[in-house]
Structure 1
């Protein structure tokens, strides 16, 4: 029997069209620019969710350090934008014109060599995905080749996220420290702080997200995707069949890192800064919660989970900022205990069957008696 490798089933096509309409038509049509930019920020976390669906949902690899790659992608973009804003004319009042302001404040007198390539936008676009993928490859090769997995891998990724946060904060003269890289103004001369720029960036962000969703779905329905599921369920059988399980894990971990990095770069463009507060343990765990709430087995669920949880976070934290972390923890426990497949599982098991029965009932009532079998 030949397995079905259709990219989307009919129901999934409907879900994709509905999501595209929501992101590209409904939300821009009903929200002002400020709220639209806020939704765009939420969507940047959906990139992380897509990667986690592949890495955690399909491959069974729980990473609690996706903030590493989100932050690396964001910092790569921020370095380019900061250099563009730090021309000798714009920084003439500094002791050393032509370098970022935080470097001048920390008595750095020359642009570090590893900052210099980020004067090129083409190199920056390459680095946004290549640098996180390289770090993910190093981490994955070191762990998976030694068959480190499960809870041990999750804890190690947490530790690496904490280490990277400490490193960024400690190297204030080169990274901006705890404040991060701020005061980002233009992209190739285009002012990204205007309302029109935020409007355009939202559509770029949404378009990239839909493209990444299609690519992630292609990976899921491919032979590689089926092997990921097989590894998740019975890794020993896949290994005994002659496949190098470690290489498959490394690849999907790097792919998830690249998705996260794209989200981080778009976050920097839309918000206008990047700081270590988006790299550490807490944001990494929050990213896992977005995916878990939406449904770790559903790409569409990951997007909706990121939107809904972040919207709830914004609303709830405005009134009870000190209680939000407790609410987030309770939400994660509730998901794990009550509906482990998230909102997507609830929709599939309860909402969709109920809607189908309702439509069948309405359709049967509306049919003429002759079509229903009457004389």
Structure 2
């Protein structure tokens, strides 16, 4: 009788370990955080979880697919503005007004045509789920089919984020540079109620766990293997009969889908969305968190995004002008000395320990022949 041991099976966490990890995360998010954090700090953590959802998508597209996505602020902004428009319409209906308050100040007496569909909550939610991913799919097909990649793709995505922010600044019907703010309700629930604020935190925490679980399934599937193969040997994958463009488009679309959901939840939690939240600087900030946490891992982007956002808030409270320099220095150190991110340090330690440990005599990582007892 022969038994085959795979090195991959010895390094990947099993189902029990994965279930324990999700259970621990659920305990922290749904039990410990609400018990020990004030309402203000819990709201900040909910904001950080929105950034973590974006980071999971970037980790899939950049870490696994090699696509340096510098324009995730576009898809984040699409989801956020769609949600904000619906909430402003709902608030106006409660006051029995025909248009939101900021439009009345600007002298606009009729709801713009592109606002009208978002009067329906069903249409608004459907648009949040469909429009960012659909736009990403169309852009991806146009870019990847022409084999645009590397720095050219990064510059193109960054230019898209800049153009979207500039477009919003000049639009009075979306609040201009001030954006949309002062939301009163969220699908009928008063946002001023602390209980409803906690409900929002639980919703975004559940979304984050679902996003991580879905991304894990993608990474471990055959598609995940193809995505890594395209990143490392695109021409060889094409020679084997696969279209690398289609594989990239799927990852890019999934990342945009996650960003749109994160933007939609950002609006009721933070209470404002403006062009300053979706331009080049926020898009790069998303990327920095992923790079610091470890773009090739599943949890690295999540922890990196939360850690960077927390550090920004903590340092900004005490040293308002120092955070930009600290962020740049941290990014330079990680990229220059730890290209795999902080999560890569654990893998490096395991590899060093495996080289120092003597090989076991009774277990082979390739193939072990076991003779039946006589």
TM-score range, shorter chain: 0.7 to 0.9
What's the CA shift for 1:9?
Answer: 4.8
Matched-pair contact (CA < 8 Å) for 1:15–1:300: no
What's the CA shift for 1:250?
Answer: 1.1
**Separation in 2, partners of 1:341, 1:143:** 27
Secondary structure of the 1:346 match is helix
Secondary structure of the 2:196 match is helix
Q: Does 1:175 align with 2:174?
A: yes
What's the CA shift for 1:81?
Answer: 0.5
**Separation in 2, partners of 1:18, 1:302:** 18
Q: Does 1:23 align with 2:29?
A: yes
The alpha-carbon distance between structure 1 residues 213 and 226, as it changes in their structure 2 partners (threshold 3 A), is same
Matches within 5 A, 1:7-86: 9-86=15-92
What's the CA shift for 1:296?
Answer: 0.3
The alpha-carbon distance between structure 1 residues 70 and 249, as it changes in their structure 2 partners (threshold 3 A), is same
What's the CA shift for 1:347?
Answer: 2.7
Aligned residue for 2:115?
115
Aligned residue for 2:367?
none
Q: Does 1:219 align with 2:243?
A: no
Q: After alignment, is 127-136 or 57-66 more displaced?
A: 127-136
Matched-pair contact (CA < 8 Å) for 1:165–1:276: yes
Which runs of 5 or more structure 2 residues have no equivalent in the other structure?
Answer: 357-374
Matched-pair contact (CA < 8 Å) for 2:86–2:118: yes
Matched-pair contact (CA < 8 Å) for 2:66–2:231: yes
Matched-pair contact (CA < 8 Å) for 2:98–2:109: no
Q: After alignment, is 340-349 or 226-235 more displaced?
A: 340-349
Matched-pair contact (CA < 8 Å) for 2:46–2:201: yes
Secondary structure of the 1:321 match is coil
Aligned residue for 2:206?
207
The alpha-carbon distance between structure 1 residues 307 and 20, as it changes in their structure 2 partners (threshold 3 A), is same
Matched-pair contact (CA < 8 Å) for 2:47–2:269: yes
Q: Does 1:258 align with 2:264?
A: no
Aligned residue for 1:322?
321
The alpha-carbon distance between structure 1 residues 59 and 128, as it changes in their structure 2 partners (threshold 3 A), is same
Aligned residue for 2:330?
331
Aligned residue for 2:126?
126
Deviation by residue 1:111-169 (Cα, 9 ceiling, x = unmatched) = 11211111111111111121111221222122111111111111111111010000001
**Separation in 2, partners of 1:289, 1:26:** 27
Secondary structure of the 1:112 match is coil
What's the CA shift for 1:189?
Answer: 2.0
Matched-pair contact (CA < 8 Å) for 1:7–1:217: no
**Separation in 1, partners of 2:315, 2:282:** 17
Matches within 5 A, 1:147-166: 147-166=147-166
**Separation in 2, partners of 1:222, 1:196:** 39
Matches within 5 A, 1:258-277: 258-277=257-276
What's the CA shift for 1:332?
Answer: 1.1
Q: 90, 108, 112: which is aligned to 2:95?
A: 90
What's the CA shift for 1:218?
Answer: 0.7
**Separation in 2, partners of 1:137, 1:301:** 26
Secondary structure of the 2:302 match is helix
**Separation in 1, partners of 2:351, 2:116:** 54
**Separation in 1, partners of 2:316, 2:102:** 31
What's the CA shift for 1:8?
Answer: 5.3
What's the CA shift for 1:352?
Answer: 10
Q: Does 1:138 align with 2:138?
A: yes
Q: TM-score, length-normalised on structure 1?
A: 0.88
What's the CA shift for 1:103?
Answer: 2.1
What's the CA shift for 1:194?
Answer: 1.7
Aligned residue for 1:237?
236
Aligned residue for 1:311?
310
Aligned residues: CA RMSD: 2.1
Secondary structure of the 2:68 match is coil
**Separation in 2, partners of 1:342, 1:11:** 23
Q: How many residues are paired up? A: 347
